[in-house]
Amino acid sequence: EELDTARPPHTPTAAFGKVVEAARNAFADFADTVAPWRSSTTPAAELAAYVLWSATVRPAGLVTRPGVLMSKHWMDKVWSWDHCFNALALAPGRPGLAWDQFQLPFDHQDDTGALPDSVTHSEVLHNFVKPPVHGWAFGHLRRRLPSPPDRADLSATYDRLERWTEFWLTARRAPGAALPHYQHGNDSGWDNATTFDPERVVVTADLAAFLTLQLRELADLARHLERPDDAERWTRAAEETQRAMLDELWRGDRFVARGVDSGDTWGTSSLLDLMPIVLGEHLPDDVGAVLAGRIEAHLTPYGLATELPTSPHYLSDGYWRGPIWAPATVLVEDGLRRGGHLRLADEISARFRALCERHGFAENFDALTGTGLRDRAYTWTAAAYLLLAEAHAERTGR
């Protein structure tokens, strides 16, 4: 049941056993459509589907569409990058819900083009933004939907992505700067990563990489929509952004961050500094190889630690200063795979899947013990498992 401020007097419409049976059948149908590939080799798939199903809510208040909350515990909102991973997991089996999940934060895009930090039925928060992973996500979403979006839907989404991109190119670029910046660690989604220790307003390579992919997706959408001038403009902007990222932030063995005010640069032991691997096939081979090697150093028996365990800043329950997180895992695995680093991508996938099968779908996990931390039933973790398990099943035929 979904209750508002109070429950009205109860008038049974069916015997309790029938209500239970209807709920059981509704979930079974959901699991069969979202994870039809599940088998004994993917033992957590049904539970992952349940986490998503149980957190799905009807439109109400500021939740403008059917949506999947991040959790029914404490994180009972839709955050503006979490929603992308849920949309991708739902796309083949529940395309309508997946489309709504992707679009929901865009319904609250402000006049500058910025997305809100989060949405719930009673509030929309614009105190922070989230990173522009939406171009990367929409490219995958288009390929995963059973039927391609029609021209009207593509055009509307193109307009929304364009405004979101222009926000980063205008409101988040200092005068004369080629690269955008974060105003706060929360804007990156990696709230307290050590990358943000020296200064708060910083230019980072992960942001440049995400924006580059979003610009490439806009170019591809423009070609589909027969807007050749736009396609050329976005392609040029993507190339310029990636070139600036390499020219300004690459030091031969690592990417550095740069303070917008001071101009100082620094490197850290955060996995965030290695996120340009998401560029995959677009990265120069030598850069991709260096990043892959550094990423492997973050790999524990359970997955990718967000801070090197040997770092003096590592904390077992330090949020983004050590624990394993689902979105970083999916993004890194995808970039490695597209860049040809298949062995490492396979290993990251296998360890994260095993982690979820043993410890469930927590918001994040202790990188050295695998113990689930914080919110213990988080939908983007369940979605990440479904994405990786489905892809593994397709690769292996089981």
Domain range summary for the chain, segments of one domain joined by +: 18-396
CA distance 272 to 145: 29
CA distances from 37 to 26, 137, 195, 337, 383 (A): 18, 22, 39, 21, 15
Query: Using CB atoms within 10 A of its CB, is residue 310 exposed (0-12), middle (13-18) or buried (19+)?
Result: exposed
Radius of gyration of the chain, Cα coordinates, nearest whole angstrom: 21
Report strand pairing: 118-120 vs 78-79: antiparallel
Helices (H), 189-325: 205-224, 228-249, 285-296
CA distances from 306 to 15, 191, 321 (A): 50, 12, 6
Tell me what pLDDT residue 2 has: 67
CA distance 52 to 32: 13
Per-residue pLDDT of the chain (398 residues; tens, 9 = 90+): 667 788 888 888 899 999 999 999 999 999 999 999 999 999 999 999 999 999 999 999 999 999 999 999 889 999 999 999 999 999 999 999 999 999 999 999 999 999 999 999 999 999 999 999 999 999 999 999 999 999 999 999 999 999 999 999 999 999 999 999 999 999 999 999 999 999 999 999 999 999 999 999 999 999 999 999 999 999 999 999 999 999 999 999 999 999 999 999 999 999 999 999 999 999 999 999 999 999 999 999 999 999 999 999 999 999 999 999 999 999 999 999 999 999 999 999 999 999 999 999 999 999 999 999 999 999 999 999 999 999 999 999 87
Angle at which helices 95-103 and 82-90 pack, to 10 degrees? Answer: 170
Could you say which architecture CATH assigns to the domain 18-396? Alpha/alpha barrel (1.50)
Residues 380 and 86: beta-carbon distance below 8 Å: yes
The two three-digit tokens of residue 290, written as one number: 């260096």
**CA-closest candidate to residue 237, choices 253, 257, 254, 217:** 217
Tell me what pLDDT residue 1 has: 63
Query: Using CB atoms within 10 A of its CB, is residue 10 exposed (0-12), middle (13-18) or buried (19+)?
Result: exposed
Residues 6+ apart with CB under 8 A from 47: 360, 361, 382
Structural element, H or E, at residue 42 = none
